[in-house]
Amino acid sequence: MTIDAVLFDIGDTLVGRAGGHRSIVEEAGALGVVVAEADAAEVWEAIQARARTPEEIAKGRDLSPEAHREAWTALYAAADVFVDGLGRALYEREVDPARWVPYTDTEPTLRALHGAGVPMGIVSDTGWDYRLVLERFGWLDLFDAVVLSYEHGAAKPAPALFTTACAQLGRDADRVLMVGDNPLTDGGAIAVGLQVLLLPAVAPGSRRGFDTVLRLVDGLVDGRL
């Protein structure tokens, strides 16, 4: 097995939603309502879990900015049980580049791969320009391919997104590792011959576990973080 190029998902892979469930506490507070941490966590986790279901993904939320706004506003409306307007406030966070934070090992991993000359790309399901997040952290120039679903009229697991990214990296699919968090979407890379690493969920701002990526890339055995 030779892997010498890497594709990354963005959301919940390279970056997570800042504050997690505390977004509910903070935005409710801005609307003058106090929400207990435990109550916020319960509703937040339910929203995020629902967002990951096949039914929600099938709504095509990542095919256009309008579809994204409609689907995610409906999801976040579950938080309106605390105060009217909270769901809309949470959606504005969802599309605010400043509300996405790296995991502790994201930047060292990207720098290590780039420093070793490993071609890297992005394949992301999104209804807004996630490049703004990459730019914010100075990462955009590290990537040789940025494939965003809404710019291609298709969402993962559509094969075209993965094959387009591989072509932009100049690599055959069987030499490319797709790193993501969602078996339904990122896992689709398997169907077009890529190898896939799915990382389990962790809290925003914690360690993502990218040392596995460095171990899998050929010739990077010593590429420690």
Contacts with Mg ion, residue ranges (CB under 5 A): 9, 11-12, 181
Q: How far is the CB of 14 from Mg ion (least distance, A)?
A: 9
Nearer Cβ to Mg ion (6/35)? 6
Q: How far is the CB of 24 from Mg ion (least distance, A)?
A: 21
Contact 180, 163 (CB under 8 A): no
Nearer Cβ to Mg ion (14/214)? 14
Q: How far is the CB of 62 from Mg ion (least distance, A)?
A: 10
Q: Which residues pair with 180 in a beta bridge?
A: 198
Nearer Cβ to Mg ion (28/105)? 105
Q: How far is the CB of 187 from Mg ion (least distance, A)?
A: 11
Residue from 144, 102, 138, 125 nearest 7 by CA: 144
Nearer Cβ to Mg ion (36/201)? 201
Contacts of 211 (CB under 8 A, 6+ apart): 105, 109, 224, 225
Q: How far is the CB of 22 from Mg ion (least distance, A)?
A: 20
Nearer Cβ to Mg ion (27/181)? 181
Reading the block at residue 152, the tokens are 């291609």
Nearer Cβ to Mg ion (11/87)? 11
Residue 82 dihedral angles phi and psi, to the nearest 5°: -85, -45
Q: How far is the CB of 156 from Mg ion (least distance, A)?
A: 9
Q: How far is the CB of 183 from Mg ion (least distance, A)?
A: 11
Distance, CA of 166 to chain centre: 18
Nearer Cβ to Mg ion (116/190)? 190
Look at strands 120-124 and 5-8 and give their pairing.
parallel
